[in-house]
Amino acid sequence: MKLEMPDSVVRERLKGQPPAQIEQDLKDYHRETDFLSTYFPEANIVKINGDRKPDAVFADIRKVIDKHVNP
């Protein structure tokens, strides 16, 4: 599963945290998700639009998990 949202939105949502930590977390997230896509192109990576209200994002995540746990 991959949450897709602009980095600017992530920065805004996490603005109470240390900026250096936010930048490192973003760098790590992009590196790791890019790695998965590159080295496992056949993987079924579900993309979720994270640029919405948290309840809507959570509902989509829950649907994906439920689908894989209870096929």
Residue ranges per structural domain of the chain: 2-69
pTM metric for this prediction: 0.78
C-beta separation of 61 from 68 below 8 A = no
Residue-wise pLDDT for 9-56, tens only, equals 999 999 999 999 999 999 999 999 999 989 998 988 899 999 999 999
Residue-wise pLDDT for 43-67, tens only, equals 888 999 999 999 999 999 999 999 9
Over residues 3-12, the mean pLDDT reads 95
